[in-house]
Amino acid sequence: MTSLTQWRRTATTAVLSATLVVGGIAGVASPAAAADNPYQRGPDPSRSSIQAARGSFAVSQTSVSRYGVSGFGGGTVYYPTDQSQGRFGAVVVIPGYTARQSSMAWLGPRIASQGFVVFTIDTNSVYDQPSSRGDQLLAAADYLTQRSAVAGRIDATRVAVVGHSMGGGGTLEAAKDRPSLKAAIPLTPWNVDKTWPEVTTPTLVIGAQNDSVASVATHAKPFYQTLPASTPRTYLELRGASHFAPNTSNTTIAENSIAWLKRFVDDDTRYTQFLCPTPSGSALSAAASSCPF
């Protein structure tokens, strides 16, 4: 854990201790505050609920042919079947270099079952570079929210992007080009561009300690460190993990991604408790954060 993280943890604890009020603790939504949030979906969360393989929402899926869309290579949409709670935020997920949507498919139902519409996409070419992948994320987001069969279930103002490797680099490209995105999650990201002072979208960067493809020293860490101080941001490093950790079911990736999406796409402060203080534990070899958000 970095000394910066330890300092932030101490500061956060002090702030929370000093702001105890009737009805709750700062950073944790009181019943009244939760009721005032029109984007809140699902029951009160717990550590076990965000770590679970499935959340509280039943999920269906539908395929999107690459021949019926433009700007990206089609994909699979996972969506909650419940329409009683209003529209949901959307999440577009893109794979890495030479990979297809199947490499990220595990994230689709896992995130959707927490109350999101999730679109895992294929790229135009498996060799597309990060800048192209960023454009494809945005094209897929526009299709999903405007023309897809589930567009009516989605709040088009609340969209996030997630990507692996060159797709992770693409999430930063997308966030730079479209600041209205609510969240970005680059997973073991790769990009020739190492600095991201233009990104104002809340960004969770997840690197892997033993990544020999996109070393954290030359990719994930500088990506995180060059985000503006005003941008909500967190860096997590998976202990002992390789570049391909995001390609199989991973509880650490899932629980932190879910908390991040809930906090910034749904503006659901019930999930702040999982992000601040900065996450720690045996699954992580390093962590840093700008919390309190």
The position carrying tokens 């002072």 is: 197
Of 211, 219, 257, 289, which is the active-site residue?
211
- Residue 165: active-site member: yes
Strand partners, 117: 90
Task: Say how far apart CA 256 and CA 262 lie, in whole Å.
Answer: 10
Nearest CA-CA partner of 91 in 105, 77, 72:
77
Catalytic residue among 113, 122, 219, 243: 243
Backbone angles phi, psi at 122, to 5 degrees: -95, 155
Q: Which of 145, 133, 214, 144 is nearest to 172 (CA)?
A: 133
Q: How far apart are CA 208 and CA 219, in angstroms?
A: 11
211 classed as catalytic: yes
Assess contact for 236 and 284: CB atoms under 8 A: yes
Q: Which residues contact 76 (CB under 8 A, 6 or more apart)?
A: 61, 62, 63, 64, 101, 105, 108, 119, 120
Contact 232, 275 (CB under 8 A): no
- Find the catalytic residue in 165, 257, 289, 290: 165
Indicate which residues carry an active-site annotation. Answer: 165, 211, 243
